Amino acid sequence: MKREEARRRAKELVSQMTVEERAGQLKYDAPAIERLGIPAYNWWGESLHGVARAGIATVFPQAVGMAAAFDDELLEQIADCISTEGRAKYNAYSAENDRDIYKGLTFWSPNVNIFRDPRWGRGHETYGEDPYLTSRLGVAYVKGLQGDGEVMKAAACAKHFAVHSGPEAVRHEFNAEASAKDMEETYLPAFEALVTEAHVEAVMGAYNRTNGEPCCGSKTLMQDILRGRWGFEGHYVSDCWAIADFHSHHMVTSTPAESAAMALNAGCDLNCGNTYLHLLAAYEQGLVTEEAITEAAVRLYTTRYMLGLFDKTQYDSIPYDVVECKEHMALADKITKESLVLLKNDGILPIDISRVKTIGVIGPNANSRRALMGNYHGTSSEYITVSEGIQRYAEGRARVLFSEGCALFEEKTENLAFEGDRLAEARIVAKNSDIVVLCLGLDETLEGEEGDTGNSYASGDKVDLLLPKVQRDLMEAVALVGKPVICCLMAGSAIDLSYAAEHFNAIVQLWYPGARGGKSIAEVLFGEVSPSGKLPVTFYNGLEQLPEFTDYAMKGRTYRYMEGEAQYPFGFGLTYGRVAVTEAVVAEVSDKKEPFGLPEVKVRVVAANSGTCDTDDVIQIYVKNTDSAHAVKNPALCAFQRIHVKAGQSVEVELTVSDRAFTVVNDNGERIADGEHFKLYAGTMQPDARSRELTGMEPVEMDICL
């Protein structure tokens, strides 16, 4: 249904409501209006990596893990699967007259905030630190979720607008100060792409203030940028209870009525929370007009009509049995395998199971279901941990020994035991094994959203980049045994891996790999498929490389602006093959396009696999403006494509670098064309010295004058 028709019908329906009824529809738990035949509707739904919090669903890897696949086409397919399951569940729940929270078709995903600091606990909800990668993956997700049918299949929501990435502990009172240049260059591009390219139906405001204005009451963000500059036509929703922060924490208003008025007048249509219970008081006090209440209600009902909630639709017949169906499970398996990032390998991987009799599986995350999931997750009908995956794969071929080794962060696993009560067992298992798979890391209790985690001392953020001390002790205990060790890290953010890099034979970043991730991981470890993920975030050597957490200036942050050397760089990831770009040329330069007066450029790339294993890999193109003083410090990602190359063979692909990639942002926050000379780099990693050192390969450089 076109928006014009949906809005016409919405205005007609809303006109039949009283002011009180209209105001009541602006809360996330909108009540029924029986006299008009309108059922209750709860707007709060989650689908970050599968339909969440609404019962059984396919649980895909956490968002940052899916980002590591650098596979926008697959992510669009996954988002389509998520909306299919969302429709199936909505159909079934509605038939039972169950209109509870998390059971609607408005999903508050994706999170396209920039993961600018590895301490942020919610960073694993994002697609990483790069605005271009985040934009491409976010657009793919929104298109897949919303579909292209006669009505919208499900409604996506870009969050959290804008400039939001910790610290969690002060988010309700914090003012994120960002320059006009950083706003346009880093914090806004993904949101702009989701609005202007993918036509995302909703945008959620952040808890914090941005440059002095609460994000859920910011006329700059909502009116000037979102609806003004970008032409956003959907609805705006507050983060949950964020409007109450106006008077409780930001202290920019004095009463709930004033807070409700500030949000509504700025353009916030929907309140996740209860502050809009005071809208009628604000109306009676003359703080808001009937027209403002009406417009918000019309926007919300426009979305409901675009979803076909008052009509028969092509999606009404989607049966419940699509939930966790074979096809969706296969996609989860595929992206889990694509997401794994091989950071080190001295040749120990893949494991040759014909040469090992006993495999030791050790670590607090080896048999942890929680470490499979990340946060904002659904419920799976089956979980396969790393330990279980290895046991299933090795059954009948090798013995698998197991030890938890230590608790995730507590000093002991049994209350009455001494500290380190599982270290001796870990040493015993290692001594009796031919090879050790050591599973370390975090889970949603240590990194996540403030209020949702067990990490109350840091409100879900990390205080440093180290693993908990008990896990560091476990690493040392296992290393001293002297057996070959594969370190598997389950975490959603950068961890200091310097000890593992020095003492262990291989390191694999598993992220939070999804409900059945253990099966996929085992198949990669044993060589059924080659790992091919790339880091969507920088792994730093320590906090000394980073500015203060509360400093939102981008100087020194992420691969585009960092001064020193990364431990493991953005875009890095090894495979069991050896894929290198052997040739790259500018194949075509288009006519210059508006509004920047710059062309698109097509780059033809040849990549060869000189290894002995077939593998996927990711071609990455980076651009550096060599003329402009406004250019970002380091080359920036501007195109990528996942490829498959058989051993001893090569493939040829063509990638398009958009005209926008050749722009710069000046200090006034204006995106402009400035300079004629550019360098393009084509490789399977970024063109920094550390990536060259780790891979032993060089990207192909191209000079171009536009």
Same domain, 139 and 62: yes
**DSSP helix, strand, coil percent of the chain (3-state; round to 5):** 35, 20, 45
Tokens of 174: 């914090």
Mean pLDDT of 85-99: 98
Is it the case that residue 457 has pLDDT exceeding 90? no
Residues pairing with 623 in the sheet: 636, 680
Average pLDDT over residues 465-493: 98
* Model pLDDT for residues 336-367, shown as the tens digit of each residue: 999 999 999 999 999 999 999 999 999 999 99
CB-CB contact of 447 with 405 (8 Å): no
Mean pLDDT, residues 215-227 taken together? 98
In angstroms, the CA 254 to CA 279 distance is 15
Among residues 80, 245, 324, 447, the one annotated as catalytic is 447
Domain endpoint, select from 251, 273, 295: 273
Whether the CB-CB separation of 606 and 594 falls below 8 Å is answered with no
Q: Is residue 48 assigned to a domain?
A: yes
The answer to whether 580 and 534 have CB atoms below 8 angstroms apart is no
Note the pLDDT of residue 265. Answer: 98
Q: Is residue 164 part of a domain?
A: yes
pLDDT at 267: 98
**Would you say residue 456 has pLDDT above 80?**
no
pLDDT at 452: 82
pLDDT at 454 over 80: no
With 80 as the cut, is the pLDDT of residue 572 above it?
A: yes
pLDDT tens digits for 112-153? 999 999 999 999 999 999 999 999 999 999 999 999 999 999
Mean pLDDT, rounded, for 187-203: 98
Q: Is 468 helix (H, G, I), strand (E, B) or coil?
A: coil
Residue 1 pLDDT greater than 90, yes or no: no
Whether the model clears a pTM of 0.85, i.e. scores above it, the answer is yes
pLDDT tens by residue, 643-698: 999 999 999 999 999 999 999 999 999 999 999 999 999 999 999 999 999 999 99
Same domain, 267 and 412: no
Q: What token pair was written down for 448?
A: 């996540």
Alpha-carbon distance of 381 to 668, in angstroms, equals 53
> In this structure, what CATH number is given to the domain that contains residue 584?
2.60.40.10
Residue 63 carries which side chain, given as an amino acid letter? A
Residue 98 has pLDDT above 90, yes or no: yes
Do 464 and 403 belong together in one domain?
A: yes
pLDDT of residue 453: 79
The pLDDT of residue 166 is above 90: yes
pLDDT band at 547 (very low <50, low <70, confident <90, very high): very high
Q: Let me know if residue 62 belongs to a domain.
A: yes
* Residue 254 shares a structural domain with residue 112: yes
Per-residue pLDDT at 271? 98
Measured between alpha carbons, how far is residue 171 from residues 160, 199, 219, 685 in Å? Answer: 12, 28, 20, 35
Residue 299 inside a domain? The answer is no
Domain assignment of residue 23, yes or no = no
Considering the domain architecture, whether residues 483 and 361 belong to the same structural domain is answered as: yes
For a pLDDT cut of 90, what percent of the chain falls above it? Answer: 98
Region 382-402: mean pLDDT is: 98
Residue 270's pLDDT is what?
A: 98
Dump the DSSP string for 323-391. TT-HHHHHHHHHHHHHH-EEEEESS-PSP-GGG-SEEEEESTTTT-SHHHH-SS--B-S----HHHHHH
* Residue 213 annotated to the active site: no
Query: What six digits make up the tokens of 549?
Result: 């957490």
5 is catalytic: no
Q: Taking the alpha carbons of 551, 556, 559, 564 in that order, is the dihedral positive or negative?
A: negative
Q: Are residues 359 and 445 in the same domain?
A: yes
Together in a domain, 60 and 119: yes
- pLDDT reported for residue 386: 98
pLDDT confidence of residue 16: 98
Query: Does 584 lie in the same domain as 530?
Result: no
CB-facing half-sphere around the CA of 37: CA atoms within 13 A: 4
Catalytic residue among 76, 125, 239, 443: 239
366 lies in the same domain as 258 = no
Q: Which tokens in the block code for residue 371?
A: 């470490």
What's the domain count of the chain? 3
Q: What is the pLDDT of residue 316?
A: 97
**Parallel/antiparallel/unpaired status of strands 506-509 and 485-490:** parallel
366 and 252: one domain?
no
Q: Which residues, including other chains, have CB under 8 Å from residue 585's CB and lie 6 or more apart?
A: 603, 604, 702
What CATH number should be reported for the domain holding residue 400? 3.40.50.1700
584 in a structural domain: yes
Decide if 290 is inside a domain: no
Q: Which of 222, 249, 273 is the last residue of a domain?
A: 273
Would 436 be classed as within a structural domain?
yes
Say yes or no: 497 and 640 in one domain: no
What whole-number distance in Å separates Cα of residue 461 and Cα of residue 449?
Answer: 8
Question: According to the model, what pLDDT value does residue 601 have?
Answer: 98
| Structural domain for 336, as ranges | 332-537
Of the candidates 252, 273, 294, which is a domain's last residue? 273
Q: Report the chain's terminal Cα–Cα distance, integer Å.
A: 42
Torsion of CA 554, 559, 562, 566, to 10 degrees: 140
pLDDT, position 352: 98
pLDDT for the residue numbered 515:
98
226 & 341 share domain = no
